[in-house]
C-alpha cells in the first residue's frame, strides 16, 4: 500500500488499477485557510515566513494558475468535495442576481443527499476519512459530515464568529464526531483583543493522531480545514507577536509550522513516499479585513467576494516524494474541483457517470508535466461573471459591492480602483465582454481593444466554450435561499450531556438577504 496526501485533505490508497499511484494517502491542510496567492514566500511574500510550505514547493510542484470554484468559503468547499460547480451542487442563491451566499447559523439548507462527496466514494477503496476544522456545508443534523462519508470529525459546522450571548444567537459548537464537546468562546476560548486561541494546536494534534492511527492500518483521507487566517484571526501564544506581518502573519506562521510537523511525521512513519499532499485555499485573501487581519493576493485585483483574480486565484502546492519531481512549476489551469477527480484516480476509482463533473484528473500534469486545455468559470451566486481560457479572461459582468456598502467602509479592493472594471454597480458586459490577457496583465487593469484582432479571436474561442457550458448546464436546487433563526445551533447533539442546550425561538422561515 502507498499513501497520497493533499492540503485540505490527506489520504492513503490501496493499490489501484490506474497507472501512477500504487496507493496513496490524500492530505490537505486548509480548506478554509483563506490564504491569498501572495501569502507564501514561494509566491513572493517578502517576509519569507512560510519555510515549510516553501520547502514543500521546492520538493514538489507549484501551480501559479490554480483557482477556487467560488470567491466565498461554503460554495468553494462544496465544489471541492463534489467535484462540481456550486451552481450544480446547489450552493448558491437565487434571491438576488449575482449574490454571494454561504452557510451562517440561520441558513436552512446544506449539502443535498443527492450529491456524492469524495469521502463517500473513497469508502469503495477502503478509505477511512477524517475532517479537522470547519465543515461549512450545513449545520443541521441531515448535513452532518459523518452522514456524508466522513468517519471522524473534530471541528465546527460554521465560522468562529462571536462571542454571542446565547439568547439572540448561540455560540458556535465544536464537535467530536456526532456530538458537540463545547462551544467557541466558552470551552474553546478565542481572545478577540489579543488574538490568542489554541485551536490550531488542537487541530494539529487531531491530524497527527489520525495519521499515526491509520498509517499502518487503512488507506486514509484527511481533510485539514483550519480557519485561523479567517477573521477574527487567531494564533496560539508561542506565535503571537512573532511575525513581521502582524496578527495575520502570526496565524500564517502557525499554520506553516503545523504543516511542517505533519510532513515530518509522514517521514518518521516512513510513508512520505506513499502520501500525496496538496495545499490550497478556498478563496482569495479577504482584503476587507486587511492589513491586520487580511492577507495578500499578490499582483492580482481585489480579493475574497469578487470574481477578479484576487478573489479566485489561489496558492497551490503538490507534494509526493518519489513521484512528483522536485522543483516543478506547472502552468496547468487548475481548480479545487480537480482534487475530487484526481483523488479518485489515485484511489483507482472513477467519478460518478450519472452527473456532470467539472474537475479534471491532474495526474498527467503532476506526473508527466502535461498541460490540458480547459476553461475556468467564475460564478458569483447564480451568475457566470467571467471565463478564462488559455491566457485570456472575459468578464461578462463586473461588480465589487454596492455603493451603499462601499460608503459604509466595506471595500473588497482597497487601493485598487480600476475605472470601468472595479464597479460598484452590477455592470452588464455580456454583449461586449471586457477581455484581459492574464500573462501580460495579471492585475486586470488594461482590457484589450474591442477592435483588435486579438480581442476578436479570444472572444470567439471563449464564446463557443461558454455557449456549450450554458446549453448543457442543469442548475441544482438552490440551498442558500431560506433562513430561519430557529435552526441555529441552539441544541446540537450532545448538548444534554454538557448542560448546554438552549431554547430556540419560534420558527419563522424567510428569504435570506445577501447584500454582496
What residue spans define the domains of the chain?
Answer: 41-373, 385-472
For residue 286, give Cα distances in angstroms to 73, 89, 158: 11, 24, 17
* pLDDT tens, residue by residue, 155-202: 999 999 999 999 999 999 999 999 999 999 999 999 999 999 999 999
Degrees to nearest 5, angle at CA 116 with 114 and 120:
130
- CB 262, CB 256: distance < 8 Å: no
Cis peptide before 149 (omega within 30 of 0): no
Q: Tell me whether domains 41-373 and 385-472 share a fold.
A: no
- For residue 280, the cross-strand partners are 316
In the residue annotation, 267 being an active-site residue is answered as no
C-alpha cell at 464: 463557443
Cis peptide before 291 (omega within 30 of 0): yes
Q: How many CB atoms lie within 10 A of CB 416?
A: 21
Predicted confidence band at 401 (pLDDT cuts at 50, 70, 90)?
very high
**pLDDT at residue 292, as a whole number:** 82
Q: Which CATH number fits domain 41-373: 3.30.360.10, 3.40.50.10090, 3.40.720.10, 3.90.550.10?
A: 3.40.720.10
Q: What integer is the mean pLDDT of 363-372?
A: 97
- CB 373, CB 390: distance < 8 Å: yes
Catalytic residue among 25, 30, 136, 139, which?
136
Does the annotation place 283 within a ligand binding site?
yes
pTM: 0.94
**pLDDT at residue 328, as a whole number:** 97
Q: Which CATH number fits domain 385-472: 3.20.20.80, 3.30.1120.10, 1.10.8.870, 2.60.40.10?
A: 3.30.1120.10
Degrees to nearest 5, angle at CA 23 with 18 and 29:
115
- 3-state SS of 280-306 is ECCCCCCHHHCCCCCCCCCCCCCCCCC
Q: By three-state DSSP, how is residue 168 classified? A: coil
C-alpha cell at 403: 455603493
Radius of gyration of the chain (CA): 21
- CB 444, CB 467: distance < 8 Å: no
- CB 400, CB 412: distance < 8 Å: yes
How many residues belong to the chain?
A: 516
CA atoms of 374 and 361, how far apart (whole Å): 12
**pLDDT at residue 4, as a whole number:** 41
Predicted confidence band at 26 (pLDDT cuts at 50, 70, 90)?
low
- CB 394, CB 308: distance < 8 Å: no
**Can you list the positions of beta strands (E) in 114-250?**
128-134, 152-156, 173-176, 179-183, 220-225
Q: Is the pLDDT of residue 11 over 80?
A: no
Q: Which residue has the cell 485570456?
A: 392
**pLDDT at residue 6, as a whole number:** 38
Scanning 150-272, the segments in alpha helix (DSSP H) are 199-214, 247-268
* pLDDT tens, residue by residue, 122-155: 999 999 999 999 999 999 999 999 999 999 999 9
Does the annotation place 413 within a ligand binding site?
no
- CB 236, CB 196: distance < 8 Å: yes
- CB 415, CB 290: distance < 8 Å: no
In the residue annotation, 73 being an active-site residue is answered as yes
Catalytic residue among 73, 159, 483, 512, which?
73
Does the annotation place 52 within a ligand binding site?
no
Nearest to 68 by CA among 58, 55, 79: 79
Q: By three-state DSSP, how is residue 319 classified? A: strand
**pLDDT at residue 216, as a whole number:** 84
Mean pLDDT score across all residues of the chain: 93
Q: By three-state DSSP, how is residue 132 classified? A: strand
Amino acid at each position: 500500500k502507498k499513501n497520497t496526501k493533499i492540503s485540505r485533505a490527506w489520504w492513503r490508497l490501496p493499490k489501484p488499477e490506474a497507472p501512477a499511484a500504487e496507493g496513496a494517502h490524500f492530505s490537505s491542510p486548509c480548506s478554509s485557510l483563506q490564504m491569498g496567492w501572495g501569502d507564501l514566500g514561494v509566491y513572493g511574500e517578502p517576509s519569507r515566513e512560510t519555510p515549510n510550505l516553501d520547502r514543500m514547493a521546492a520538493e514538489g510542484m507549484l501551480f501559479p494558475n490554480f483557482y477556487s470554484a467560488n470567491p466565498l468559503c461554503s460554495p468553494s468547499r462544496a465544489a471541492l468535495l463534489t467535484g462540481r460547480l456550486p451552481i450544480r451542487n446547489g450552493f448558491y442563491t437565487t434571491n438576488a442576481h449575482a449574490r454571494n451566499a454561504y452557510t451562517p447559523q440561520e441558513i436552512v439548507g446544506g449539502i443535498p443527499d443527492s450529491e456524492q462527496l469524495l469521502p463517500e466514494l473513497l469508502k469503495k477503496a477502503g478509505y477511512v476519512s477524517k475532517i479537522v476544522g470547519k465543515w461549512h456545508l450545513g449545520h443541521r443534523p441531515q448535513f452532518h459530515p459523518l452522514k456524508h462519508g466522513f468517519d471522524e470529525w473534530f471541528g465546527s459546522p460554521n465560522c468562529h464568529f462571536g462571542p454571542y450571548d446565547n439568547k439572540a444567537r448561540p455560540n458556535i459548537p465544536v464537535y467530536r464526531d456526532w456530538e458537540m464537546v463545547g462551544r467557541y468562546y466558552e470551552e474553546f476560548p478565542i481572545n478577540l483583543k489579543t488574538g490568542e486561541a489554541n485551536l490550531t494546536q488542537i487541530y494539529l494534534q487531531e491530524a497527527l493522531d489520525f495519521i499515526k492511527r491509520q498509517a499502518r492500518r487503512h488507506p486514509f483521507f484527511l481533510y485539514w480545514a483550519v480557519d485561523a487566517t479567517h477573521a477574527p484571526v487567531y494564533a496560539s501564544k508561542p506565535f503571537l507577536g512573532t511575525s513581521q506581518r502582524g496578527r495575520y502573519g502570526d496565524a500564517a506562521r502557525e499554520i506553516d509550522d503545523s504543516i511542517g510537523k505533519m510532513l515530518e511525521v509522514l517521514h518518521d512513519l516512513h510513508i512520505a513516499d506513499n502520501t500525496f499532499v496538496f495545499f490550497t485555499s478556498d478563496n482569495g485573501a479577504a482584503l476587507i479585513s486587511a492589513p491586520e487581519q487580511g492577507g495578500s493576493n499578490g499582483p492580482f485585483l481585489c480579493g475574497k467576494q469578487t470574481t477578479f483574480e484576487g478573489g479566485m486565484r489561489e496558492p497551490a502546492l503538490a507534494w509526493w516524494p518519489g513521484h512528483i519531481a522536485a522543483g516543478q512549476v506547472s502552468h496547468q489551469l487548475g481548480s479545487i474541483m480537480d482534487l475530487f477527480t484526481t483523488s479518485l484516480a489515485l484511489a483507482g476509482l472513477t467519478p460518478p457517470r450519472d452527473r456532470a463533473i467539472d474537475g479534471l484528473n491532474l495526474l498527467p500534469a503532476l506526473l508527466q508535466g502535461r498541460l490540458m486545455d480547459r476553461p475556468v468559470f467564475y460564478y458569483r451566486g447564480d451568475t457566470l461573471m467571467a471565463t478564462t481560457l488559455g491566457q485570456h479572461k472575459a468578464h461578462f459582468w463586473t461588480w465589487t459591492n454596492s455603493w451603499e456598502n462601499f460608503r459604509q467602509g466595506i471595500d473588497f479592493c482597497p487601493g485598487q480602483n480600476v475605472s470601468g472594471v472595479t464597479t460598484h454597480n452590477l455592470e452588464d458586459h455580456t454583449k461586449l465582454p471586457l477581455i484581459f490577457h492574464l500573462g501580460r496583465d495579471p492585475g486586470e487593469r488594461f482590457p484589450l481593444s474591442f477592435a483588435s484582432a486579438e480581442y476578436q479571436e479570444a472572444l470567439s474561442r471563449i464564446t463557443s466554450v461558454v455557449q456549450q457550458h450554458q446549453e448543457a448546464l442543469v442548475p441544482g436546487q438552490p440551498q442558500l435561499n431560506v433562513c430561519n433563526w430557529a435552526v441555529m445551533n441552539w441544541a446540537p447533539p450532545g448538548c444534554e450531556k454538557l448542560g448546554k442546550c438552549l431554547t430556540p425561538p419560534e420558527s419563522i422561515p424567510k428569504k435570506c438577504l445577501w447584500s454582496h
